[in-house]
């Protein structure tokens, strides 16, 4: 029995010696915190600084982050001299910045940027103080916290240098003209700091509809105080705003929006008049044919007839015909008839009438 005990003791000692090898260096525990917030844009518009960001969706260890409880916006600002370049490192920002705004998750919908189909983009606007419009650089950083209060690191600081911007245009008006919208506005008299004349170099036009948010529709900076938008659909409501720009090239220093205007353009343009009218008199009828009118909203054709020598034409059909042919069985032998055709669209607009052609039974008169 003692012999077996001794053998067991030896085996146990050997096993323990194998398991107790040299220990490696101790590793710090992995920090369970959300990834950094992604700041996508920071810029000045009029008397405001606009900050945009995306919330993280995972922790720094790669695991899924199912809920953000709040987002904190931090600001550090500093005076500067004209032409001086200002920068800040993350360590200094973390030490010097002050909490400007804390946004709870329940309030996130109020800060969502409209019209973004991809991951939500959030937007925050900060009003520039009048005494900081030309001599201040703003450094921004954003933090996110999960529902247990674990905070991300600061986003990389982004800077915006404040400048004096023009006030928005005034008196914006929109009027419909055939197939387009004509916009007109007035130059602002002052800049955001009250100085005059305004520092306007040009204008940008923004348009929205029921299906879309405001988006710029001009490609080049507009120098005039008017604009014609011919990229529209009839019977659709559009809304417009105009912004001034204090710079002639990107990145543009824009004003805030003008007062918006809404307009619906009604279709008042008729199709082109039919051409190629031909009459064929045979048997007991006169057949009228013409070239097809090319129009997306074409509804049909109206056929008009009068006896030669009469003044007014009579409409021969109670409803527009769909094909470019009409058989007139109500004619009488020996009488000359004059015909013309007009086209109409789905909005009820009618074209000019075609050239007049004369025909009679017992022969052709083309």
Rounded average pLDDT over 2-18: 45
1: exposed, middle or buried (Cβ count in 10 Å: 0-12, 13-18, 19+) = exposed
User: Which pLDDT score, from 0 to 100, does residue 66 have?
Assistant: 85
Q: Can you tell me the mean pLDDT for 236-242?
A: 97
- For the CA atoms of 201, 205, 206, 209, the dihedral, rounded to the nearest 10 degrees, stands at 170
What is the average pLDDT across 291-317?
95
Whether 173 has a pLDDT exceeding 90, the answer reads: yes
What percent of the chain is modeled with pLDDT above 90? 80
Mean pLDDT across the stretch 33-44?
A: 96
Q: How many CB atoms lie within 10 A of CB 246?
A: 21
Give residue 110's pLDDT.
Answer: 95
Beta bridge partners of 252: none
In whole angstroms, give the CA distance from residue 298 to residue 351.
11
Mean pLDDT taken over the chain: 90
Q: Is residue 112 within 8 Å of residue 105, measured between CB atoms?
A: no
Structure tokens at 177: 């003209």
Q: Which of 251, 320, 327 is nearest to 288 (CA)?
A: 327
Q: Please, which pLDDT band fits residue 300 given cuts at 50, 70 and 90?
A: very high
Q: Please name each of the domains of the chain with its CATH number.
A: 38-161 (2.60.40.10), 170-264 (2.60.40.10), 278-359 (2.60.40.10)
Give residues with Cβ within 8 angstroms of 28, minimum separation 6. Answer: none
Burial readout 90-117 (b: 16 or more C-beta within 10 A, e: otherwise):
eeebbeebeebeebeeeeeeebeeeeee
Instruction: Please check the confidence at residue 363 and state whether its pLDDT lies above 60.
Output: no
CB 142 within 8 A of CB 156: no
Looking at residues 148-156, what average pLDDT do you find? 95
Q: Which residues of 13-67 form beta strands (DSSP E)? A: 38-45, 48-54
3-class secondary-structure state, position 262: strand
pLDDT (mean) for 38-62: 96
Q: How far apart are CA 77 and CA 13, in angstroms?
A: 67
Residue-wise pLDDT for 339-355, tens only, equals 999 999 999 999 999 99
Which pTM does this prediction carry? 0.78
Q: Are 238 and 180 in contact (CB under 8 A)?
A: no
Measured distance CA(75)–CA(85) in Å, rounded: 18
């Amino acid at each position: 029995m003692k012999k077996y005990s001794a053998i067991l003791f030896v085996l146990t000692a050997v096993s323990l010696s194998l398991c107790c090898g040299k220990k490696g260096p101790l590793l710090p525990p992995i920090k369970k915190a959300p990834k950094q917030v992604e700041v996508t844009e920071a810029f000045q518009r009029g008397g405001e600084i606009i900050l945009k960001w995306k919330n993280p969706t995972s922790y720094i260890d790669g695991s899924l982050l199912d809920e953000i409880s709040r987002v904190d916006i931090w600001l550090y600002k500093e005076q500067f001299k004209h032409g001086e370049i200002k920068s800040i490192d993350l360590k200094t920002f973390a030490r010097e910045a002050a909490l400007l705004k804390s946004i709870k998750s329940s309030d996130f919908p109020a800060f969502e940027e409209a019209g973004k189909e991809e991951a939500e983009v959030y937007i925050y606007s900060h009003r520039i103080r009048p005494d900081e419009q030309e001599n201040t650089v703003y450094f921004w950083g954003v933090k996110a916290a999960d529902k247990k209060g674990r905070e991300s690191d600061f986003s990389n600081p982004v800077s915006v240098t404040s400048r004096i911007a023009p006030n928005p245009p005034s008196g914006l008006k929109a009027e419909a003209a055939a197939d387009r919208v004509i916009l007109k506005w007035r130059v602002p008299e002052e800049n955001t700091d009250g100085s005059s004349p305004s520092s306007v170099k040009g204008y940008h036009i923004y348009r929205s509809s029921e299906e879309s948010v405001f988006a710029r529709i001009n490609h080049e900076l507009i120098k005039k105080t008017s604009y014609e938008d011919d990229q529209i659909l009839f019977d659709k409501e559009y809304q417009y705003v105009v912004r001034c720009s204090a710079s002639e090239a990107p990145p543009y220093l824009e004003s805030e929006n003008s007062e918006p205007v809404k307009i619906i353009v009604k279709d008042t343009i008729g199709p082109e008049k039919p051409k190629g009218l031909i009459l064929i008199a045979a048997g007991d009828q006169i057949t009228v044919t013409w070239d097809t009118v090319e129009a997306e909203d074409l509804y049909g054709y109206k056929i008009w007839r009068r006896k030669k020598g009469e003044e007014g034409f009579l409409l021969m059909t109670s409803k527009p015909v769909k094909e470019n042919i009409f058989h007139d069985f109500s004619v009488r032998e020996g009488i000359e008839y004059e015909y013309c055709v007009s086209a109409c669209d789905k909005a009820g607009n009618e074209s000019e009438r075609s050239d007049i052609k004369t025909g009679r039974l017992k022969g052709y008169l083309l």
